[in-house]
Amino acid sequence: MTTHVIDLTHDAPASTGSRRLSDLPDRVVAGDPHHRTGVHFTSPDGRLTAGTWTSTPGKWHAFTDKDEYCYIVSGHCALVHEDGTRREFRTGASFLIPDGFRGYWEVIETTTKHFVIRDTGPES
């Protein structure tokens, strides 16, 4: 197997998908966010994923059992902890959402991010 560096900005994703988040029961809190995801890399064990994601405005429950590093390519979003602590991010920002975070994603203006996600949940 040959391993190459993956450029999330210029290389075509290995797979793409889109979804209307309201199709997932009990996730959406406000709005009607639509997501487009391009997965550029998935590790052989499936527990590490990297790619690019775009969302239209809305607010939803954040996932758990994952660590996620994000770099905001464009847009304006916020992460709101269940205790009310709010952190806003705009183009050029980078941050880590650690496993155990409980709260919400809120996309204020359509946002595109590069991400790396490590699944920390039980192995299947």
pLDDT in tens, 61-82: 998 899 999 999 999 999 999 9
Mean pLDDT for all residues in the chain: 93
Bridge partners of 97, per DSSP, are 68
- Per the structure, how many domains does the chain have? 1
Task: Kindly report the CATH number assigned to the domain that includes residue 21.
Answer: 2.60.120.10
| Residue 62 domain flag | yes
pTM of the model: 0.91
Q: Which two tokens stand for residue 76?
A: 């304006």
d(CA 123, CA 120): 8
β-bridge mates for residue 79, sequence order: 87, 105
Q: Which positions ≥6 away from 110 have C-beta within 8 Å?
A: 54, 55, 56, 57, 74, 75
Residue 101 structural domain: 15-119
Residue 4 lies in a domain: no
